[in-house]
Every structure is written in C-alpha cells, then in structure tokens.
Amino acid sequence: MTDKVKNSFDASYPQPVEWARELLSGAKNVFVFTGAGISAESGIPTYRGAGKGFWDGLRVADWATPQGFARNPEGVWDWYCRRRVQLGSVRPNPGHEALAQLQRRIAGSGGSFTLATQNIDGLHQTAGTENVLELHGSLLAVRCSDCSYAETVGPVALDSPACPECGSRLRPDVVWFGEMLPQDTWRAAEQAASECDLLLVVGTSAVVYPAAGLIETALAGGARSIEVNPEPNGFSGLMNVSIRGKSGEVLPQLLGYR
Ligand code: BV8
C-alpha cells in the first residue's frame, strides 16, 4: 500500500479513515496536536477558518497582548472573565472523548501518548485526557502580574483582580502574543513531537508559532502523519492522510482500529 493517500476516492485505495486506522494500529509513540477546531463542536468559536468569528472585529493587539492589558487592564480582565464564565456551560464533544479513549488504549498497550493543545478551555482534561500540555495556558487559571501567585479558579468571574499575596493586578494565566510559552511545557511538547512515530493534527490553522513548529518537529523526526480538519492548512500537503471532516465525527471513527 503506498504511503500517500490524499483523500483518495479511488476504490483501489483505502478511504482516508481506513488508512488512518492502519497508521494508528501500528503506532507506538503518538503525538497529538490540537487547536481551536476540536472545541468548535462544543460551541466555542474558533479564531480563524471554518466556524471562525472569535477574533472577528477584535484587534488582537488590544485584547491578547501584554501591551493591550497594560493599556486597558479592566477591559481585558473583564473580557477574559466573560470567556471563562462561558466555559461553565460547555462540555467536551465526542472528539475530545475519542482522544481520551485513544490515550487509554495506547497507554494500555505499552505505547506512549502525548497531547499538546493550543486551546485554553480545559476540555481535553474534562474529557479525561491526562497530562495535557497546555501550550498557551489556561482560561481557568489566573496569576499575578508581579509575584509567583497563581491559582486555578474554574469557570467563574472574579470580583477583585488584586493578588491576595502582593496586591498587584491579577491577569489571565494564558500566553499572549509576544509572550514566551511556559518553558517546561514547551520542552515536553518538543521532545514528544521529536520522538513520536505518529503525529495526529486536529483542528488547527497552524499559523501560530512556535506551537505550529511542533508539526515540523514531528515530521522531521520521521513520524507518519494524520490531520483532521474540514479545511486544509499550510502543512496539509505534508500529511500522509488528510481527513476533511469535523473532529467530533471523524475521531470516534478512527477508534474503530484494532
Ligand atoms: C512568541 C491565548 C516570542 C490567548 C493564543 C515565529 C516564531 C515565533 C513566534 C512568531 C513567529 N511568527 C510570528 C510569531 C509571533 C506570534 C505568532 O505566531 N503570530 C501569528 C498569528 C503569525 N506568536 C507569539 O506571539 C507566541 N509567542 O512567539 O513569543 C518570544 C520569545 C522569547 C521571549 C519572548 C517572546 C505566543 C502565541 C500564543 C498566543 N495566544 N491564545 C487567547 O486565546 O485569548 S493564540 C490563539 O491561536 C489560540 O491559542 C489558538 O488556539 C491559537 C492557534 O489557532 P488555532 O488553534 O489553530 O485556531 P484557529 O481558529 O486559527 O483555527 C481553527 C481550525 O479548526 C481551522 O483550521 C478550522 O478549519 C478548524 N475547524 C473548524 N471546525 C472544526 C475544525 N477542525 C476540526 N473539527 C471541526 N469541527
């Protein structure tokens, strides 16, 4: 069977899902890289592409940068509080659940499974995936702008954005544009990507770096690759299998592998 199945509808080739199942069944070290698309079917709008709208009309520089926060701390704080409260009414979808099940299956057969997400919604954890690498932080946590205070707060607004330790202003514990990713998390993701034999890319436009560079790292390490996305992204041409579909529908089908 050739290595390239590009949405082939030639009857002599397996359909992309069958080929993806074939790759999954032989994988020992799986690295999963997810973006906002996997949460789209949970009702969280994506930032760009299919289902987009989140950043529509918003200047990223005003809302997702340290400079924007410095200019308008109350407004940015309230915006994140509103997004955090909304998480109280969203649930993982079958795509999140399928990845949690895949982790259990891979780990149960002695393999390794690492999931790194760009998402800040915590839905992978709620679905049961363990040791999630949150590359861009978490909407469900806050930290002090000045001292080391940090706290997981859940899907609630917070009245006083003052640090209980030092009185400085609290901020969302997310990575803004122009900020470094949490280094331990980043190094763990880079290592898992470089060592994997199968890369699964789900629901990302792959335009935000350095996170998107994990795709290049995995491919450079010789991994086979599967993507699940209704739309192509800049790496689609390098994937072994591209499944054009919604992750909440496709990922449960992939689990049909044995
Ligand atoms: C940094 C938290 C430097 C905030 C976010 C090269 C190298 C390094 C940096 C850069 C570089 N080039 C440019 C940069 C700067 C910048 C960057 O990448 N800019 C881009 C826009 C060009 N990067 C940074 O600033 C990063 N920091 O580089 O620091 C540094 C170094 C040393 C010292 C100091 C500093 C930090 C980036 C993190 C920004 N924070 N989020 C918040 O959310 O409020 S990014 C934001 O974009 C989210 O995290 C989001 O997840 C992420 C990526 O987007 P996607 O997840 O891909 O989502 P998107 O909407 O784009 O796409 C959705 C996809 O889903 C689509 O493809 C769609 O088709 C698909 N889809 C839709 N429905 C479904 C679906 N798929 C499946 N099923 C469905 N149903």
Beta carbon of 136 within 6 Å of any ligand 1 atom: yes
CA-47 nearest atom, ligand 1: 60
CA of 119 to the centre of ligand 1 (A): 9
CA of 182 to the centre of ligand 1 (A): 15
**Nearest to residue 135, comparing CAs of 179, 199, 90, 169?**
179
| DSSP track, 128-146 | T--S-EETTEEEEEEEESS
Cα distances from 102 to residues 28, 67, 75, 122, 168, in angstroms, run 12, 40, 40, 18, 42
More reliable by pLDDT, 154 or 248: 248
More reliable by pLDDT, 42 or 4: 42
CA distance linking residue 201 with residue 236, whole number of Å: 10
Question: What pTM was computed for the model?
Answer: 0.94
- Mean pLDDT for 71-95 is 95
More reliable by pLDDT, 247 or 59: 247
More reliable by pLDDT, 161 or 90: 90
Beta carbon of 47 within 6 Å of any ligand 1 atom: yes
Beta carbon of 61 within 6 Å of any ligand 1 atom: no
Interval 150-192: pLDDT, tens: 999 989 998 778 999 999 999 999 999 999 999 999 999 999 9
- pLDDT of amino acid 2: 45
- Mean pLDDT for 194-215 is 98
Residues 132 and 123: beta-carbon distance below 8 Å: no
CA of 209 to the centre of ligand 1 (A): 6
CA distance linking residue 250 with residue 116, whole number of Å: 19
- Counting ligand 1 atoms within 8 A of each CB, the residue from 48, 65, 124, 208 with the most, and so the one to mutate, is 208
> Mean pLDDT across the chain, nearest whole number?
92
Quick one: 195 exposed, middle or buried, by C-beta within 10 A (0-12, 13-18, 19+)? middle
CA of 62 to the centre of ligand 1 (A): 16
Q: 232 pLDDT band (50/70/90 cuts)?
A: very high
Beta carbon of 35 within 6 Å of any ligand 1 atom: yes
Beta carbon of 125 within 6 Å of any ligand 1 atom: no
CA distance linking residue 102 with residue 79, whole number of Å: 34
Interval 48-66: pLDDT, tens: 765 566 677 778 889 999 9
- pLDDT of amino acid 175: 98
Beta carbon of 204 within 6 Å of any ligand 1 atom: yes
Interval 110-152: pLDDT, tens: 999 999 999 999 999 999 999 999 999 999 999 999 999 999 9
Which residue's CA lies nearest to atom 75 of ligand 1? 37
Percent of the chain topping pLDDT 70 = 91
Task: State yes or no: pLDDT of 256 exceeds 90.
Answer: no
CA-209 nearest atom, ligand 1: 18
Q: Is 136 a known active-site residue?
A: yes
Task: State yes or no: pLDDT of 8 exceeds 80.
Answer: no
